[in-house]
Structure 1
């Protein structure tokens, strides 16, 4: 990926990197079991996603210092920036 830092690499989806005591470990933290998916109304799902997004942005905006955002011109950072305003 193109980043402002050298030697940055991707992790697989649903994985996290743990660096502890000079050791690196990659651990899977999430895997969707498609066998357990249930049918839901699309409008309900969209509404719930926006509720969670709104709550997450608001929780991360509590601060006693100036807030900053690194905008990459991508959809995610632009959406978060717009939601913060």
Structure 2
């Protein structure tokens, strides 16, 4: 391995050319990626809560129909 390989390996960001504008571009990309992750987590929470609500409603409606059917069967027995 060359000396540059040892220097690149532990680095967080490696610039290919010596243009300092690339540092700003890298920071903008990093912020955009982080914002995208935050948005994805937000959507995950919203969708999970909606799914949970639908599951609870489904169980509640199914349980009430079953209870009503059992009461109706008991009255007509």
Structures share fold, TM-score greater than 0.5: no
Taking structure 1 as the reference length, the TM-score comes to 0.29
Bigger fraction of residues in strand:
1
Structure with greater Cα Rg: 2
**Which structure has the higher relative contact order (CA within 8 Å, separation 6+)?**
1
